[in-house]
Amino acid sequence: MIRLRPRTLRGQLTLGLVVLLAAIFAGVGVGTTALLRGFLVSRLDQQLSAVGPRYAQSLEHELAAADTRGQAQGTFGARALNSVVTQAGVVDGTSATGDNTRQIRLTAADSRGLLALPTDGSAHSVRLSSLKAYRMRAVAGADGDVLVTGLPLSQVSSTVRELATAEIALFGGAVVVAAIGGAAWVRLALRPLERVTRTAERVSTLSLASGEVALDVRVPDADRNDEVGRVGASLNRMLGHVEDALARRQSVERRLRDFAADAGHELRTPLAAVRGHAELVLRRGGELPADARHGLTRIEAESRRMGTIVDDLLLLARLDAGRPLESKEVDLTLLVLDAVDDAQAADHEADGDGDGASTVLGGVTPTRHEWRLDLPTDPVTVSGDQHRLAQAVANLVTNARVHTPAGTRVTVGITVHAGRVRLTVEDTGPGLAPDLADRVFDRFTRGDPARSRASGSTGLGLAITRAVAEAHGGRVGVASEPGRTVFELVLPLERQRLSE
């Protein structure tokens, strides 16, 4: 479908100006031609009245004896008696006998048209089959006949046509000149608005999601007293408010990161001491009451869980601060194999096998989940921090194992396309609630808080996965519906400098 409306405001204004001028010129042209035609027809009617019925009256004595004196060339005359047209001729000097009269052969329709003319002497336009348009008037004769006299409208039509042609050429040229001049003027008038647009486009390209933002872009035409100036001033004020808000946000984020890092460092030592004392008492306590041993065991377990939370918080604080990560070739395929193997072992241990033994995928040891791999034939390598990428992959696999029921099929796959690696963990579990899918990568988000705490989940695993992916220039995503949930980790394939 052809788009007729221009995309830009400049084009729309120019088109509107051209259309308006064309409409005005068309109205002027139609009006002037109509007025001129009316004037010329009125003059022709006056001439027709002045000529009188003398030529038509002379047709009573045969066509050859017609009186053509003082008659203009092309004058038409006809005589009708008893509703029958007896004679019809035109003055043109082209007859075979050399006189000025030529007989006109009338059709039945021509005769009906002539007989329909009123005999009050008023002029009417009539078109005969053998002649062009004529202006004719009919009067009653002395012998009870009807005398019709007509003058051709060809001169009127020719004059009107010449005027219309001249107007079309003149107005067409005027529209073209107006279009060119209007486009230049509109372009000049909209230059301040274009500068406002460029400023807005520059702001739209800035990354405002996190970190310090240098929002020093301003509209240069904010001091004008027109609409553009008011828009520019409003935009500058808005940018100032946004800059202040971003600065306050960055200050709060920095304080939170510093607090998390400081709190993590400060908690590490007492947690290690609590866990160490609990383990020491359990190993050397001799005969302890059952309730005391149970309490010490819980203290040790919870101190380990708190240590994991502290380690995760410290990792997120480092990633948020943009600290440098290692950059070396990492075999992503091997990381997937290790993560799935560990998940199988944890699955097997959860089924009650005390030794915790597990076989690699394809073995015979039963597990709670059905694990499948969809990997390329050749190893897939990316550039990044091996330890952090292993943690991100393990978090995705562990999430599928912990939050899906027994019997769920979990497929871990890797695909390479357009310079990027896509790692997917797909399960056939019940899926995520819509509100949970929107915030599943946020910190401390749990699908089942009671079960997560019982299983030792901190709600930070997927948040760490997202932070690791973004630190490597990648992203994470999730798509979920009942019976199918797919988590994805997308990383750049080519080597690049990691966040600093």
DSSP string, 24-58: HHHHHHHHHHHHHHHHHHHHHHHHHHHHTTHHHHH
> How much is the average pLDDT of 381-393?
91
How confident is the model at residue 274, as a pLDDT? 78
Residue 260: which pLDDT band, with cuts at 50, 70 and 90?
low
- The backbone torsions φ and ψ at residue 325, rounded to the nearest 5 degrees and listed phi first, read -110, 165
Nearest 5°: CA angle at 458, between 455 and 461? 105
Pair 256, 297 in one domain: yes
Pair 339, 352 in one domain: yes
> How much is the average pLDDT of 60-65?
61
Residue 451 structure tokens: 């079960």
How confident is the model at residue 361, as a pLDDT? 47
Question: How far, CA to CA in Å, does 187 sit from each of 182, 183, 226?
Answer: 8, 6, 16
Report the 10 Å Cβ neighbour count for 167: 17
Domain hosting 414: range is 326-492
Pair 451, 333 in one domain: yes
How confident is the model at residue 350, as a pLDDT? 61
Task: Give the model confidence (pLDDT) of 415-462 as tens digits.
Answer: 998 889 999 999 999 988 888 888 888 877 766 554 444 455 667 888
Tell me if residue 494 falls in helix, strand or coil.
coil
Least confident of 26-30, 131-135, 319-323, 385-389: 319-323
Number of folded domains that form the chain: 3
CATH code (residue 107) = 3.30.450
Question: How far, CA to CA in Å, does 460 sit from each of 92, 307, 313, 391, 446?
Answer: 108, 13, 8, 12, 9
Give the whole-angstrom CA distance, residue 296 versus residue 273: 13
How confident is the model at residue 500, as a pLDDT? 39
Crossing angle of helices 386-402 and 332-350, in 10° steps, is 40
Give the whole-angstrom CA distance, residue 206 versus residue 449: 37
The answer to whether residue 178 sits within a structural domain is no
* Residue 381 CB contacts under 8 Å (≥ 6 apart), including other chains: 329, 330, 331, 332
Q: Is the pLDDT of residue 96 over 50?
A: no
What does the mean pLDDT of the chain come to? 81
The answer to whether residue 277 sits within a structural domain is yes
The answer to whether residue 183 sits within a structural domain is no
Give the whole-angstrom CA distance, residue 8 versus residue 28: 30
> How much is the average pLDDT of 294-320?
77
Pair 95, 215 in one domain: no
How confident is the model at residue 366, as a pLDDT? 55
Pair 374, 406 in one domain: yes
Task: Give the model confidence (pLDDT) of 180-237 as tens digits.
Answer: 998 888 888 888 888 888 888 888 777 776 666 667 778 776 667 777 778 878 888 8
Residue 381 structure tokens: 């390598």
Crossing angle of helices 227-284 and 290-320, in 10° steps, is 150
The answer to whether residue 191 sits within a structural domain is no
**Cα 425 off chain centre by:** 33
